[in-house]
Structure 1
Amino acid sequence: MTPIARISALGLSVLLAACASAPPAPSASFVIVRHAEKSDDDPRDPSLSEVGRARAQRLAASLKNQPVRAVYATAYRRTQQTGEPTAQSHGLQVIGYDAKQPAGDFAAALRREHPSGTVLVVGHSNTAPDIAAALCQCSVAPMAETEFDRRMRIDFDRDGHPSYSESRDQ
């Protein structure tokens, strides 16, 4: 074998090894967030504050290059307004869901309806962690009433195994 052929064969071997060790892309991903900061314009159904609208825009920007297939939000203005920028950037409509629906039932429906792609779910401090926990079948810490920046992500591999991660919006 010539020196050039050996180098080519070695290079191909390194590339194949790198591909084999790279984690496979998830088949489905669910991003669960609490609605962004609300204003005090309506005690029963407030809209987003200026800070909340900015957070919703950052959320949309962070998901811009992901294959978002659906955006779910409860019927409240603050959840709808949190999900709207992401839905609009992907040419989608926000899909309403019942905040009182058991988390396990909602998670099962999400998995059935969305076997691939990325799905954003906007909930509330008392529902978002439960939805994430039902999806990943793991423990998820409760959310404080003052917490707006946590993003919970559940990625399912090709075999249907979930992995859970959290990040914070800046």
Structure 2
Amino acid sequence: MYPLQDGERLLWSGRPEHARRWFPEHLALLVGAIAVIGVLGTWFVLDDSFVAFVGLPLALVLLFTTTLPHLRNSRARAFATTYLVTDQRIIFVAQWPSGAEYRWVRLSRLGPPRVKADDRGVGTITFGTSPWTRWQLANKPQPGAWAPFVPDLYAIAGAARVAELISAARQPVIAR
């Protein structure tokens, strides 16, 4: 089922952990609260019922139409993704209802792993790319199989241990 090559050993496999809180949800709540307070404040100060009955629903509809697709897509990707770390590659598997999508990166093509973890040990492993580059690749539409992707492992349990496995597996590859 998973595309392991002959002689390739699986070192670790896992899925993204469910986050306690998601930053986009907090941002959407904050913007929604500001919109509600702004529209209600305008209604009370200016005594304008048009703003209250048209402006508030319009502001909330605009808020939800801009934030919900992003939240839905990021959650769907988190539920569908499985990471496989082998002694030669990192494989990213997305199990969709229509089929499976496989992408991989050879360990020799990656920079040294960097870990950013929370107090539970759940964290993200990045490989030498800048935060701006990762944000651009993650948020631009990427049609087609040849589109670049961000080879980061998001929200994985025991991120420090997985990074050590990747570092240990990279040593023989780099020495060749």
- Normalised to the residue count of structure 2, the TM-score between the two structures is 0.29
Larger Rg over CA atoms: 2
- Normalised to the residue count of structure 1, the TM-score between the two structures is 0.29
Q: Which has the higher contact order (CA 8 A, sep 6+)?
A: 1
